[in-house]
Structure formats: structure tokens, C-alpha cells
Amino acid sequence: MFSQELPIYTALLLLVLPLYYLYSKASCKSKNPAVLPTNWPILRMFPSFVANFHKMNDYFTLVLARSGHNFRVHGPPGTGMRFFVTCDPANIRHIFTTNYTNFPKGAEFAAIFDIMSGGIFTIDGEPACRQRTKIKSVLSNPQLVARIEGWSRDKVENNLLLLFTHMARTSTSFNMQELMSRLMFDLAAMPLFGVDPGLLSLDMPPMEAAVAMDTVMEVAYFRVVVPASCWKLMRRLNIGPERKLKAAHKVLRGFVMEMMERRKIDTSSVGNGKQHEGVDIMSSFLDDPYYTDDDMFNALTISYMIAARDTVGTALTWIFYNLSQNPNIVSIIRNELSPIASCKVAAHPDAMVIFEPDETKSLVYLRAVLYETLRLYPPAPLERKMVVTNDILPSGHEVHAGDTILISLHSMGRMEGIWGKDCLNYNPDRWLSEDGNKLRYVPSHKFLAFNSGPRMCLGKDIAVMQMKTVIASTLWNFDVELMKGQCIEPKSSCILEMKNGLIVKLKKREMLH
């Protein structure tokens, strides 16, 4: 069968490869609008997808706004490209909650993220329930939660703020996105392995594993857009992005082995591992015979690392980007922090102010700032589902068995029909009650940053705690200045990282005693 269809896949390959490299090098100096889908003979809408590869989120937003929050995409015959793209909250509730068993991740999703195949993000049904139950039990362990909070607080005080102080004292501009990536890489590995990789330090050590994670998400994005047989042919030939991905897989597997070796050394040095019992996540999985397979173990650990590092690190970068342009919002955050900080400043006038996780837990406006950033800049801007059996969505559209459904979180946050005429404005007040003392209820099928239904994010509270700790401690101690002349645009990736990073300068705030 594969050999019979080889000519069409070869033709697609010849089309995709040059365009992929062209757009991967594209500069944001180009302000060309997204190209709307045209139904070409034979190739159907595939050329429009490729032409908008480097700005797919904006492309989806434009088309969804013009088509009533839903549209279909078909590729060349024989490629299996049958996409239904949506950002309709009613459809999302149906897909994620009401009839979620009919919309699994599917085998193709697991193939796209093959380095994580068998991990929580790529499985469905009973295996997913089993793994979620296990992870939920682990992450609800009070001892582990306390350690994660302690690690987060100490990492901010002893590493991040020290680095920021050095940058401010030397008036050095730096890439905030890289620092957030380093911070969250360490904070993801520490609860997982009980070991600190030490990426966030003044000497800025190499971060091969973090770069490899970026590669996984960039190539996965490519795999989502092109026909499966096209990227599988590239993998078979070891060319293009597939060659780069193969090298990244090797780096990540090596990283897991290195961390486990370091864990063994640390464990033996504290006396038969008693100090590690119940403290790192791996302790719970190593005792479970279900996870003894090497591939399963790699999938589990890499899935956790990518989820914990990418989502929070990316969100923090966009938060700093937005706050650096909204000094009035920064002032409101500082006013909310002031009652907590005043006691600390009085006791230690010349010391950095660090905010404990339990001190920021009840801060309503700070949480509204986080949610408003996640609304406009969701770290995972696209969700992918498969259709098991024919179904009719609440919008009236019929989807067929074997169809792929793409849910655009990025577009949903930018739809006037969902968020109002000011949907493109950065306005944390939209999340507050009239008196400003409480958060307004927004259903998860309208705000999908933490997923919805049975697959709701298990690490939501930890992620919010970490973001609050970083933002509060940074904004109280420093002014963040965005360097002018930058090109701010997303990477072509499954994660909404900035293509060129975020270059900023810091200035130490002068406190009035």
C-alpha cells in the first residue's frame, strides 16, 4: 500500500521541504497577512496550510473569526488530512466533557509525540485513567507538595534573584525567556528526580536537554500540519526535521539516564534512600512494576519534564512581556503585595523581599494577571483529537470517524463573540468580580489553558504557585524594561515560545523605609 502511494508522498515531500526551511528562516519583518484557504484541484487546502506554517495561530484566528468559530480543511486524496478546526466553547464542552470518549488523543497523536508514547499525554482509556490516578496520588502527597513549594521558593531566592541582581548591577540586557526556561527546567527535574540539574546559575551551563525538548515540540508541530505519511517518509530517509528530532531523542534519553545515576548517588549518600522516600516523584513509580519498561519510563519522565518546564516557563515569559508594557498593572500588583512586603522590609530593610507560596495564595489580582496572560497566550495553543464514530457537534457540524479535530486555544482567547469587543486588550479586570475581591467564574470549556473535563491539568495548583512566586518576587524587587526594536513573534512549535526570545533590562527598585 505504501509503495503504491509513494509518488504522491514524494511530490508532497518535494513541496514541503523547501517551504519548511523557507518559513523556518522567515523574519517577522514580513507583515504579509495570513493566506485564507483555497480549495485547489488535487492538493485541496494543503498549500494554504504550508503557506501559513510559520503563523498558523494567526491563520486559524483569522479564518475562525470569519467562519463562525468553525471550519473544515481537506488535504490531497489519500493523505488522510481531514481536519475540523474549532474554537467554539459549546463544541469544546462536547468534545472534552459531554462525549469525551468519542474524541481520544488517538494513535496518530502518540506517533507524533513518539518520545512520550505511553506517557500521560499520549494515552487514552483505561491506561490514561490508571496513570492519572497514580500521578494525582503522587502530586497530592503533602510532603511532596511542601518540598515543591520549598524548592520553588529557594530557587527564586538563591538563584533567580541573585542572577537578577547581577544583571541589574551591571545594567546587562539578557534573554528573559532563556532564564525562565532554565529556572523551570531545574524546578521540573527536582521533584521528579530529587536532583538539581543546576542550569540556573551565573556561569549559564550548556542546556542540551532543554534545547532537545524545544526540538521535540517544534518537529511535533510540523508533524501535526503535514500528512503523516510525509513525515514518516522523512523519518525513514532520516532527512529534514526528522534528522534533527532523532538527535534530540538521543539527548533526552541520555539526560534521563544521567539524572537517574545522580539520583542513585544522592540516595546512597543519605543512607539507603530514606531521605528520598515520598519526596521525589520517581520513588512512587520505581516501586510499581507497571513502569519498569525502559520506554515507558522514558515516556513518563520526559512527558513530565516537558509539561512542567514548557508550560510554566512559556507563560512566565509572556507575563513579563505584557507587564513590561503595562506599568499601571505592575503598580496594582505591587499595591496588592505591599501589606505582605511591608513587614519583611521593616525587619530587613536592605534584603531582597521573597514571597512565600502561602503568602501569595490568596492574591486575587495577581491570579487575574496570570489568567489574562494565559487567555491571550496559552502555552499550548493547539489541542488535537480524533473522532471515533460519526457525531454531530452542538454547532450543527457533522464530524466523521477518522477525522482530526484541532482546537485552537489561541484563537478562542481572541474571539469577540466569546470575550467581547475588547478581546484583544490585555485587561486583568475582566477576571474580577465587581468589587474586585473575587475571581469571576469562567468555565473551563471557555478558558482551556488548564484543559477541561476528565483530562483537567493535575499540576494546575503547583503551576499557579510557581508563577506567583516568580512574578511577585521579581516585580517587588525590580523594574523590568523591554528593550526596543525587538521582533516578538511565536515559534513554529506546539509550545508558544517566542522565536527570538525576550530581551529585557532590570533596574533595582529603591525602597522607601
Q: In three state form, how does the secondary structure of 68-136 look?
A: CCEEEEECCCCCCCEEEEECCHHHHHHHHHHCHHHCCCCHHHHHHCHHHCCCCCCCCHHHHHHHHHHHH
Distances (CA, A) of 170 to 175, 200, 359, 471: 15, 18, 31, 22
Model confidence pLDDT, tens digit, residues 411-451: 999 999 999 999 999 999 999 998 888 999 999 999 999 99
Q: What is the pLDDT of residue 217?
A: 96
What number is the average pLDDT over the span 302-331?
A: 95
Which of 3-17, 102-116, 125-139 shows the lowest per-residue confidence on average (mean pLDDT)?
3-17
Question: What CATH number has the domain bearing residue 302?
Answer: 1.10.630.10
Q: Which residues constitute the domain of residue 475?
A: 6-508
Between helices 208-225 and 294-324, what is the axis angle to 10°?
90
Q: Is residue 450 situated within a structural domain? A: yes
Closest by Cα among 382, 367, 413, 342 to 113? 382
Q: Is residue 1 situated within a structural domain? A: no
* pLDDT band at residue 283 under the 50/70/90 scheme: confident
Q: Is residue 24 situated within a structural domain? A: yes
Q: What percent of the chain has pLDDT over 70?
A: 88
Rounded distance between C-alpha atoms, residue 352 and residue 349, angstroms = 8
Backbone angles phi and psi of 90, in degrees to 5: -65, -40
- 398-399 vs 503-508, strand pairing mode: unpaired
Q: What is the pLDDT of residue 454?
A: 92
Q: Is residue 370 situated within a structural domain? A: yes
Write the CB contacts of 183 (distance below 8 Å, at least 6 apart in sequence). Answer: 155, 156, 159, 160, 200, 313, 316, 470
Closest by Cα among 70, 109, 63, 48 to 399? 70
343 a known binding residue?
no
Helical spans, DSSP H, in 325-408: 327-347, 357-360, 364-376
> Which is higher by pLDDT, 129 or 47?
129
What number is the average pLDDT over the span 171-181?
A: 96
185 with 209: CB under 8 angstroms? yes
Q: Is residue 495 situated within a structural domain? A: yes
Q: Is residue 209 situated within a structural domain? A: yes
Give the three cell numbers for residue 390.
460519526
- 503-508 vs 478-482, strand pairing mode: antiparallel
Give the three cell numbers for residue 393.
457537534
Q: What's the number of domains the chain is made of? A: 1
235 with 166: CB under 8 angstroms? no
Model confidence pLDDT, tens digit, residues 358-377: 999 999 999 999 999 999 99
Q: Residue type at 200?
A: L
Q: Is residue 75 situated within a structural domain? A: yes
* pLDDT band at residue 94 under the 50/70/90 scheme: very high
Residue with cell 522523512: 234
Q: Is residue 69 situated within a structural domain? A: yes
- Strands across the sheet containing 503-508: 174-175, 503-508, 478-482
